[in-house]
Amino acid sequence: MTQSIISNQDRLIFAMDVPDCGAAKKLVEELDDSVNFYKIGLELMMTGEYFDLLDWMLERDKQVFADLKFFDIPATVGAAVSRLKNRGASFVTVHGNQSIMEAAAANKGDTMKVLGVTALTSLDRGDLDDLGFNCDIDELVLSRAKRALEAGCDGVISSGMEVAKLREQINTKLLVITPGIRPVDNKPSEDQKRVVTVTQAFKNGADYIVVGRPIRDADHPREAAEAIQDSIAGCFQ
């Protein structure tokens, strides 16, 4: 399984959801070696300094997950991924159907990995009904993951609640990155509706977890990150 070839320290991806690059850099410096991997997404993209921040982080030996959730016609997504592939990002996310994911996978280069989004952790059964999906969330995530694998994607974004079924039914080489992590029992929290604990995520088969607010909003972010790192280490003893 992919779980055995990843450094435990790299399994924690911090979601850098802050309003500007100054705040982002301050957090990177504060977290120091407690976090090696960072997710930077649309909020920071809109600052106009996204790639300057990406370069700054790479210079400090940090890994970057470009969570841009590309969704457009296949030619446009393919071109966007092609432009990104040489910027040093380790991961990029894409939405969409088979042809969109295929276009992304075909243009990712040799070092960047493409992750297909299955179902956002902010969605629950009622949301899927509103969107016209007449299936269980488990079924939707499994279908999306199978399509991502067939399209040539390297992995998927999936709630920890669905990871165990993915591991049972899909090639274990598929990377699974799990957001919606809370260091408490599974309860709805703010806009996240399908959440799990650190231990639950890795027990179910996640390769990486994405954690944002429990670190960012902690009184002492570095201590919060270190506590999560300790929990991760305990999962692989």
Catalytic residues: 69
Number of neighbouring beta carbons within 10 Å of residue 37: 20
Q: How far apart are CA 175 and CA 158, in angstroms?
A: 10
Question: Could you identify the residue written with the tokens 């243009």?
Answer: 107
Distance of CA 75 to the CA centre of its chain: 24
- In one-letter notation, the amino acid at residue 20 is D
The answer for residues whose C-beta is within 8 angstroms of residue 202's C-beta and 6 or more apart is 3, 11, 209, 232, 235, 236
Max Cα-Cα span within the chain: 47
With H, G, I as helix, E, B as strand and everything else as coil, classify residue 156: strand
> Which conformational region is residue 179 in: left (phi greater than 0), alpha (psi within -120 to 50 degrees), or beta?
beta
Count the alpha carbons within 13 Å of 166 in the hemisphere toward its beta carbon: 37
DSSP element (H, E) containing 83:
helix 74-84
Q: Are 61 and 84 in contact (CB under 8 A)?
A: no
